Structure 1
Amino acid sequence: MPERSIVPRDVTDDIRAVIADAGVSVNVDLVARILATGIGLGMDEASRLNLKITTAALSEMRAAFRLFAPYAGTPKVTIFGSARTRSDDARYLAAAEVAAALAERGWMIVTGAGPGIMQAAVEGAGAERSLGVSIRLPFEQSPNAVVADDARHVAMKYFFTRKLMLVKESQGFVCVPGGFGTLDEMFELLTLQQTGKAEPTPIVLLDEPGGAFWEGLRTFVDDHLIASGVVSPDDFDRVLITDSVEAAANEISGFWRNYDSMRWVGGRLVLRLRAEPDDAEVDELNERFGGLLASGRIERSAPLAREREDDDRLEFPRLVLRLNQIKVGSLFRLIQAINDLPSAPPMSGPPV
């Protein structure tokens, strides 16, 4: 393989000319980097297999981005579960009911577009409130009849691009008992939250009435993972285990009761809220969560200069803090406390 090198300047200029000729005028620098990376792969003499993987991944992401783009302003919840669950199973009914309850509250439902629990969720929400991201497999799974011919569906070759879209676009998650795939999706959610690679979101593990599937997982986490020190004692506290459809829907909606969004500005974390806490409430938050801070206190704040420059949700009151990055996985506990403050508004609609 030739010695690794950067794309020559004259080629970079040609790339920008091609972009201009195509009429692209937004985020030109990032589009140029995508094209330059492709040329760089050629310069590296990447194998045909590696180039096929790259090409397919980019094509699939583009198709998925186009699918979700018209619904950017609509909050979404992804429902995971087994493709093998039969329509007469109590878990099928639970998935349909929670999807219907959330759709009624203004949420769109995102699923893997397959049979079983995925079809139950689409049936519960209705095709007009559903988006599907299916996987092409040589056996077992094909798009369910509700979404197969619908414009609200995209098919993927690779699990990693599919999981990206099932997680990236949603502000809440419901996992219904399933096999390796469902557990893989659930553990990836927990890993992203624990490591701070994704913003805090509500995660519900929903079972049939009286079901013990997820309670068995809790026992395994307590007796093996926590006991052996490979996860922290509160890492599993971020999920709600329930057999109640109403409790599941309330957990998803309630997470956004007062908390709106977050943003890092330099070393400061900004939490945007629906209602401003008073002095006593801020003092209580500092007393309870001071151990999460790298320095200073949790303070009320007007929008920071960078936020004003970007016109970024300026209408919301704010709390600003310097979070100890090692403790980013515990941020969900602070958000839960903010939602429980006396000044918080009553249960409201989904995030926008």
Structure 2
Amino acid sequence: MRSKFKGPVIQRRHQVDGSTTDQRLLDSRGPTDWVHTDPWRVLRIQAEFVEGFGALAELGPAIAVFGSARTPADHPTYAVAEQLGAKLVAAGFAVITGGGPGAMEAANKGASEAGGMSVGLGIELPFESGLNDWADIGINFRYFFARKTMFVKYSQGYVVMPGGLGTLDELFEALTLVQTQKVTRFPIALIGVDYWSGLIGWLRDTALADGKISQADLDMMVVTDDVDEAVALMTAARDDA
């Protein structure tokens, strides 16, 4: 059955629409009634921040885990993400993901089965239908920027599994925030040396070599295949704070 979350509302069957709230906000084409409706959107945006802050205010130390929604349950990366979720809980962290399937589901599952706090921050998309079953606390957002704020505000670090454009978006936003000192003491671990080596190589051999970034920018990331190393990086940053 076709279904879609639109913020806290679920649509099913013929009620599913073909656009998203972000799309309507950002698409400036069409009639000029946006002049009148955009100010009212501020109230909906405000409500998303209030709901997120209210739900997560007492979360405690947490780590965000990102990765592809397209990772199947029988893929080795799924098992690694599940192990990661459990080990973060054992280290005293809550686990926050994007709430979707794949690697996100695996991390939520690992955290939930380990008895920890498993959080999913979903987003209204035309091709996904809500939060995975392992997110014990779930918030579904209409606006990407409200959701991204929650990740940065309530996470003490990011662990990034192999993923696509959405994963890269979260990774590079975090790197930019650390580079510009909008956030401090924010560890970033990338799991999957083979997967990430091409990106790291391009950053080093092209962006760094051409003077577009500094070595300190590259040093913000730790690339590893060892889940324990990633967890230790998060723990050390917490303990040094």
- TM-score interval w.r.t. the shorter chain? 0.7 to 0.9
Match of 2:184 among 199, 205, 217: 199
Deviation at residue 69 of structure 1 after TM alignment: 1.9
Deviation at residue 213 of structure 1 after TM alignment: 1.2
Query: Is the Cα–Cα contact under 8 Å of residues 105 and 134 in structure 2 kept in the other structure?
Result: yes
Q: In the alignment, does 2:238 pair up with 1:256?
A: yes
Q: Counterpart in 1 of 2:158? A: 173
**TM-score, normalising length: structure 2:** 0.81
* In 2: Cα distance, 1:49 partner to 1:224 partner: 45
Deviation at residue 155 of structure 1 after TM alignment: 0.6
Q: In the alignment, does 2:142 pair up with 1:160?
A: no
Query: Is the Cα–Cα contact under 8 Å of residues 98 and 120 in structure 2 kept in the other structure?
Result: yes
Q: Which runs of 4+ in 1 moved over 3 A?
A: none
* In 1: Cα distance, 2:73 partner to 2:36 partner: 43
Q: CA RMSD in A?
A: 1.7
Q: Secondary structure at the match of 1:191?
A: helix
Query: Is the Cα–Cα contact under 8 Å of residues 83 and 141 in structure 1 kept in the other structure?
Result: no
Query: Is the Cα–Cα contact under 8 Å of residues 115 and 141 in structure 1 kept in the other structure?
Result: no
Q: Counterpart in 2 of 1:123? A: 109
Query: Is the Cα–Cα contact under 8 Å of residues 85 and 110 in structure 2 kept in the other structure?
Result: yes
* In 1: Cα distance, 2:151 partner to 2:112 partner: 18
Q: In the alignment, does 2:82 pair up with 1:96?
A: yes
Q: In the alignment, does 2:94 pair up with 1:108?
A: yes
Query: Is the Cα–Cα contact under 8 Å of residues 92 and 116 in structure 1 kept in the other structure?
Result: yes
Q: Counterpart in 1 of 2:131? A: 143
Q: In the alignment, does 2:198 pair up with 1:216?
A: yes
CA offsets 1:140-175 (integer angstroms, 9 cap, x no match): 35211223xx5x111100111111101111111100
Query: Is the Cα–Cα contact under 8 Å of residues 135 and 141 in structure 1 kept in the other structure?
Result: no
Deviation at residue 52 of structure 1 after TM alignment: 3.9
CA offsets 1:273-323 (integer angstroms, 9 cap, x no match): xxxxxxxxxxxxxxxxxxxxxxxxxxxxxxxxxxxxxxxxxxxxxxxxxxx
Identity fraction in percent: 38
* In 2: Cα distance, 1:167 partner to 1:179 partner: 19
Residue pairs, 1:1-352, within 5 angstroms: 47-71=35-59, 74-126=60-112, 128-147=116-135, 150=136, 152-207=137-192, 211-257=193-239, 259-260=240-241
Q: Secondary structure at the match of 2:215?
A: coil
* In 1: Cα distance, 2:128 partner to 2:216 partner: 37
Higher relative CO (CA 8 A, sep ≥ 6), structure 1 or 2? 2
Greater C-alpha Rg: 1
Deviation at residue 203 of structure 1 after TM alignment: 0.6
AA partner of residue 170 (structure 1): S
Q: Secondary structure at the match of 1:126?
A: helix
CA offsets 1:45-65 (integer angstroms, 9 cap, x no match): x82342243122111111101
* In 2: Cα distance, 1:51 partner to 1:67 partner: 25
Q: Secondary structure at the match of 1:212?
A: helix
Matched residues, number: 207
Are residues 141 and 217 of structure 1, via their aligned partners in 2, closer, same or farther at CA, if it must alter by over 3 Å? farther
* In 2: Cα distance, 1:168 partner to 1:154 partner: 15
Q: Secondary structure at the match of 1:70?
A: coil
AA partner of residue 113 (structure 1): G
Give ranges in structure 2 of 5+ residues lacking alignment: 1-33
Deviation at residue 118 of structure 1 after TM alignment: 0.8
Greater shift in the superposed pair: 247-256 or 235-244: 247-256
Give ranges in structure 1 of 5+ residues lacking alignment: 1-45, 261-352
**TM-score, normalising length: structure 1:** 0.56
Q: Counterpart in 1 of 2:9? A: none
AA partner of residue 144 (structure 2): F
* In 2: Cα distance, 1:53 partner to 1:229 partner: 41
